[in-house]
Amino acid sequence: MSVDNSTPDAQTRRFDSLAVHAGQEFDATTGAVIPPVHFSTTFAQDGIGGLRQGYEYGRSGNPTRTALQRQLAALEGGAHAFSFSSGLAAEDALLRATLKPGDSVLLGNDVYGGTHRLLARVLAPWGVEMRTVEMSDPEAVRASLAERPARLVWVETPSNPLLKITDIAELVAIGHEAGALVVVDNTFATPALQRPLTLGADVVVHSVTKYLGGHSDVVGGALVLDDDELAEKIGFLQFAVGAVSGPMDAWLASRGIKTLGIRMARHSANAAAIAAFLRDHSHVARVYYPGLEDHPGHAIASRQMSDFGGIVSVAFESGELARRFAESTTLFQLAESLGGVESLVNYPDAMTHASVRGTDAAVPVEVVRLSVGIEDPADLIADIEQSLRLATR
């Protein structure tokens, strides 16, 4: 737990350089340019209690995990980062570190389903209260906090799957005035496009499984923050509860993160091209993409994001057409999850968001979500075109 997570160059180097180098220094003994994966579960001591660089046992600290944590801290611009076995394990550690029975959490009404489930079905029985609000509406948030204070305000922006945008700096001002900590789940934007800590947020949450890992081959999660006292509590829970990322998972995540900047640029460019194509199509009722000028959050997104990301959602003329489209693509594969180099299509109502059907978080049956990959955009658009031809035949 006394392992040093800081990266000396984080102050001077720029994002893409940090992505490649932060925490990834060559191996001191061999000169190996790629740091080795440390599988050892235990570390020899130079006399009783004589630990080398703080390493003692694999759950309390592992050099490969440290390397990932330093990379994450540098990219989000935070003092502390903690890596977990999944995004939900990271969220669980944060919730336990900050909440006690009787405390309340205010969530966006379209927050990730697993976050909702963790609070509603795991923490609520322990006396934590949870409620939801339209987080992109500052007046609604202010009114909800005036009615009943919350310990945490939890936002995703862009949100899933309707890509709603919340002004992070404004939400931070509202939350802090009401005495709440503001948590941003930055999974969709990633630090390549948006850095919530620089906008005043208290904690950044990640599902590393998505864009950070980037290749749909590793499940992981992370927390990044500045506050030393809260970091101490989270570090203790990471050690005491033990939902740590394993060495191979941490290494795969670090390898993925090295290309985050160029991947997000390509994801964003491809998504923008597809959003523009879909908007002009006759069977499309609405395209949800914050890069489109008529998106209600476009001005805020342009301010707080450097680009608009790789997720595009689209409402077709009917639910039937949406289903047929999702089952007709060939390059876009029909699957849950998002953020990999390969393009995926998801039908939220019956897939990722089936559990919130009939609630205020339900996704319209006409909506399909595209996780736009880094393939050639002409092939992606051709796939959408042929799929629409098939689906409307």
Ligand X SMILES: *Cc1c(COP(=O)(O)O)cnc(C)c1O
Catalytic residue positions, numbered: 59, 112, 185, 210
Distance CA 357, CA 365 (A): 10
Q: Which is nearer to ligand X, 10 or 123 (CB)?
A: 123
How near is the Cβ of 389 to ligand X at its closest, in Å?
31
Q: Which is nearer to ligand X, 337 or 392 (CB)?
A: 337
Q: Which is nearer to ligand X, 284 or 353 (CB)?
A: 353
Q: Pick the closer one to ligand X by CB: 97 or 205.
A: 205
Cβ of residue 379: shortest distance to ligand X, in angstroms?
26
CB of 186 closer than 8 Å to CB of 71: no
Write down the least CB distance from residue 336 to ligand X, Å: 9
Binding site for ligand X (CB under 6 A): 86-88, 112, 114-115, 156, 160, 185, 187, 207, 209-210, 219, 221
DSSP letter at 246 equals P
Contact 153, 181 (CB under 8 A): yes
Identify the bridge partners of residue 10 per DSSP, sorted by sequence position. Answer: none
For the CB of residue 159, give the shortest distance to ligand X in the complex, in Å: 8
Beta bridge mates, 371: 311, 344
Sheet containing 152-156: order of strands = 80-84, 221-225, 203-207, 181-185, 152-156, 104-108, 129-133
Q: Are 135 and 160 in contact (CB under 8 A)?
A: no
Q: Closest separation between CB of residue 12 and ligand X, Å?
A: 31
CA 300/CA 292 separation, integer angstroms: 12
- Inter-residue contact 291 to 300 (CB < 8 Å): no
CA distance 199 to 195: 7
- The letter for the amino acid at 105 is V
Please, are residues 81 and 222 in contact by the beta-carbon 8 Å criterion? yes
Residues facing 81 on adjacent strands: 224
For the record, the structure tokens of 42 come out as 């235990």
Least gap, CB of 106 to ligand X (angstroms): 17
Question: Minimal distance in Å, beta carbon 165 to ligand X?
Answer: 14
Is residue 170 packed enough to be buried (19+ CB in 10 Å), middle (13-18) or exposed (0-12)? middle
Name the residue nearer to ligand X (CB basis): 156 or 383.
Answer: 156
Q: What gap in Å lies between CA 102 and CA 126, rounded to an integer? A: 9
What value, to the nearest 5°, has the Cα angle with vertex 343 and ends 268 and 162? 60
Which single residue is written with the structure tokens 């006292």? 229
